[in-house]
Structure 1
Amino acid sequence: MSTKDMSKCQMLVQERKVRCKLEKIPKSYEDVHFEAGYATGEGINAISFELLQHETLTFKGKTILIYLNFHPKKDDAVNMIWGQLCLFASSVSSKRMITNHESSTQPIPLQNSGFETRPTNVTINTTSQFVLLNNKINVIPGWAFNGTVWYVTAGGNISLPGNGHGVQLGPNGMINQTFKSDGSYDYVLTFTLAPSSIECANNFTAVNVSGPSSSKVFNFKESLEIEMWQTYAYSIWSAEIRHGVMGIQIQSVASSSACWPIVDTILVNGIETLRMYEAMGFVNSGFEVGPTFIDNSSQGILLEPGSDEDPFNPYQSAQSPLQEWTILGMVKYIDSKHYAVPRGRAAIELVSGSPSGIVYNTQFLKQGKVIIDFFMGDANDSCVGDFMVFLQVKNMIWNFTMRSIGIGSSEKHSVTFNAKFSNNEWIPISFYSFNETRTSNHQVLCGPMIDSPTIQFSSGLRSKKLHHIWLVFSLVFVAVFIIFI
């Protein structure tokens, strides 16, 4: 390893930047190169990464914490090993190393995110809520637009958060905005979708949301909120290094009934890649790391799987707006400010059947006794009925029931089982429901609330998210690292 590269690695250690880049595992260890930021393979079968696992090694009283991740695609040859290897040296004790950690979040300031700054050269007509814009003479501060776009004022049949303003996207209507990215965060978009009339409060109102690597169509759905608008979240994940500028784009989806969508209150939350496991086994066990809630809204945020997302694929959690958890069907992300949440600031409500749930994919290093605890209850949103929640670990299934009267009650449940899985097998752990329940006025779909699942392991047993074979490579590189420090 060159002096220059070694200095760079030491700088990363000192700054606690645990996202390094190992461009390729070389034949000669002297060729190791470290670089801050996301890591991707370059060339044949390029690979995207997320930081998933750590191991510790004590050498001469110093604890070396290894962050590493190797995600070869399905058909990659073993000798084409590309990956991410981050070494973090610390003088703190190993006991401190396993304390709880949740990724930090950083709101990304978008310009004019709620469209309250009106377009240029526009005079609001009190007799009309819709003002047609012309991109040759009108500018929406902070936003570029094309196609047919109207500036909309709430009122009458048009309901928006805070009764403010939004934009309606007509034929080929599209808005976009860029923001700076330093490669340190993944990004989750929150936005509001509203129909232009009661008759359009159905699947005809739709938008296509695009990020750097993918896109997804969101449809307004009946009976999911009291208001005539709904809030959704979308993971703006990227399979490539994104230093500099990232963009988001929202475009209308053609509708034969001319139910053109209205969008409002667009927010972006930067989520730092997780650095270590929580002490109780699940990453993001309290669901604290997710999309940003809208300040002037008492509604939750609707979460759906990505367009091509397989909830049981362990490598697709980066595409989920809820860090490390993938989505089955549709769920609602709720906050403690407006709902009953047993612990912390957020929880998950399973709002519609067929099924509605969340999935966590993990691996078990050894066999032995495992205990999973979680809270089940109602979110204090007048959800009345008989709840049934299933907890499934691979092919083992337990079910839990409770009678809800919608006043915010909750119960703690626990299951115990013996983990008899091979240590390179991905095991899905899922919480889901098939029941359909509604609020006491029978208008809004609702369901059981899930919060704070934890895993407790017997001595010597712990979960992992990485095949153990890669630990061999990490130990080799730790040895090299130690030689130079």
Structure 2
Amino acid sequence: MILPVPEGARAVRLGNDATIRQLLGVTRKKTYSITFSAARTCAQAEKLNMSAGPESGVLPIQTVYTSSGWGSYSYAFRARHSTVWLTIHNPGVEEDPACGPLIDLVAIKTLSPPRREKGNMLRNGDFEEGPFIFPGTAWGALVPPLGEDDVSPLPGWMVMSGTKAVKYVDAAHHAVPRGARAVEMEVPTAPGRWYRLSFVGDAGDGCAEPLGVEAYAARAAARVLYESRGTGGSRRASLEFAAAANATRVVFQSLNHHVKPEGMLCGPVLDDVALVSVRRRAARRLLA
């Protein structure tokens, strides 16, 4: 069996019930993200147990998002002590001893508290703060759903999908409308007050087909459609809504299931999200 290695000439294969671990020095109460690249070998339902101290998560790697078979996965934790054991464990038991996921390119990054830019009520609305992306890799970093990771690698945002369908990407390999990085958030609001949510839907990851993003806030919804050629470009849309509670959940969702010509999954890129308070007389639903 010959498999490509993303970086260098070596990688680690985790056999049945195998574990690798390393002791890390960290700062108490700080939040960290771990990014590592992995590929499956034989099994269609391989998964990894990821842990850092008492926190742990199960990361399925059966879905392939790249033509090479490799993908980068992110995991986040909040340090409780000054040292922590980082552990990657293969819980699978395969009949073929040559099977087992491959691991390469492991990195740790300190995450800054989510911040708000002036004039924007959302934290990390431009997605500039997130997990480490390995230079030279074109596949970004997959962000796990909330059920698999209590601390999000994407500060301020929660991923509410059933699978790892949210990918954190960089401007070096994708068309990112704003900044260098390009997905549910809850934001404080005043009941009865009107707000405007704006965002950019972009398609620069090779998806040459109609792409769509739908946004929800309170009882309002808006869709932005973009006829993509897979080479980049974007379309801005906005949604105005009246808050019904002291906190409003802002949700973005891909409208369809998209596949590149070579069979890899893909989808629209979301960036430059902003939420501002507006006067009632100017409130109306807008779709750019």
Question: Which TM-score bucket, shorter chain as reference?
Answer: 0.7 to 0.9
The separation in 2 between residues aligned to 1:171 and 1:223, in whole angstroms, is: 21
Match among 22, 45, 60 for residue 177 of structure 1: 22
1:414 maps to 238
Q: Where do residues 261-340 of structure 1 align in structure 2 (5 Å cutoff)?
A: 261-274=101-114, 277-279=116-118, 280-307=120-147, 319-329=151-161, 330-340=165-175
Structure 2 stretches lacking a partner, 5+ long: 280-288
Which structure shows the higher helix fraction?
A: 1
The separation in 2 between residues aligned to 1:281 and 1:257, in whole angstroms, is: 53
Q: Where do residues 420-459 of structure 1 align in structure 2 (5 Å cutoff)?
A: 421-423=244-246, 426-439=247-260, 441-458=261-278
Q: Is the 8 A contact 1:301 1:334 kept in 2?
A: yes
Matched, 1:252 2:90: yes
1:382 maps to 206
Q: Is the 8 A contact 2:30 2:78 kept in 1?
A: no
The separation in 1 between residues aligned to 2:203 and 2:87, in whole angstroms, is: 36
Question: Once the two structures are superposed, what CA deviation does each residue of 1:48-101 show, in whole Å capped at 9, x if it has no partner?
Answer: xxxxxxxxxxxxxxxxxxxxxxxxxxxxxxxxxxxxxxxxxxxxxxxxxxxxxx
Q: Is the 8 A contact 2:220 2:240 kept in 1?
A: no
| Secondary structure class of the residue paired with 2:93 | coil
The separation in 1 between residues aligned to 2:218 and 2:185, in whole angstroms, is: 11
Match among 11, 31, 36 for residue 166 of structure 1: 11
Q: Is the 8 A contact 1:159 1:194 kept in 2?
A: no
The separation in 2 between residues aligned to 1:176 and 1:223, in whole angstroms, is: 25
Question: Once the two structures are superposed, what CA deviation does each residue of 1:373-405 show, in whole Å capped at 9, x if it has no partner?
Answer: 1110202x2212121211001332222212111
Question: Once the two structures are superposed, what CA deviation does each residue of 1:346-378 show, in whole Å capped at 9, x if it has no partner?
Answer: 11xxxxxxxxxx100122135322111111020
Structure 1 stretches lacking a partner, 5+ long: 1-155, 310-315, 348-357, 460-485
Pair 1:307–1:455, CA change in 2 (3 A): closer
Q: Is the 8 A contact 1:162 1:297 kept in 2?
A: no
| Secondary structure class of the residue paired with 2:7 | helix
What amino acid sits opposite 1:454 in the alignment? Answer: A
Pair 1:285–1:257, CA change in 2 (3 A): farther
What amino acid sits opposite 1:283 in the alignment? Answer: R
| Secondary structure class of the residue paired with 1:391 | strand
Q: Is the 8 A contact 2:203 2:228 kept in 1?
A: yes
Match among 184, 189, 198 for residue 359 of structure 1: 184
Question: How far did 1:296 drift?
Answer: 2.9
Once structures 1 and 2 are overlaid, which stretch shifts more, 409-418 or 176-185?
A: 176-185
What amino acid sits opposite 1:430 in the alignment? Answer: V
Output the aligned Cα RMSD: 2.1
Pair 1:277–1:409, CA change in 2 (3 A): closer
Which structure is higher in RCO with an 8 Å CA cutoff and minimum separation 6?
2
Q: Is the 8 A contact 2:47 2:62 kept in 1?
A: no
Question: How far did 1:257 drift?
Answer: 4.7
2:50 maps to 209
Matched, 1:194 2:35: no
What amino acid sits opposite 1:334 in the alignment? Answer: V
Question: How far did 1:166 drift?
Answer: 1.3
Question: How far did 1:255 drift?
Answer: 3.1
Question: Once the two structures are superposed, what CA deviation does each residue of 1:154-180 show, in whole Å capped at 9, x if it has no partner?
Answer: xx6312212521111112211111221
TM-score in terms of structure 2 length: 0.88
The separation in 1 between residues aligned to 2:95 and 2:255, in whole angstroms, is: 32
Question: How far did 1:184 drift?
Answer: 5.5
| Secondary structure class of the residue paired with 2:216 | strand
Matched, 1:400 2:244: no
Matched residues, percent identical? 24
Matched, 1:224 2:44: no
The separation in 1 between residues aligned to 2:91 and 2:254, in whole angstroms, is: 31
Q: Which has the larger radius of gyration?
A: 1
Q: Is the 8 A contact 1:206 1:260 kept in 2?
A: no
TM-score in terms of structure 1 length: 0.53
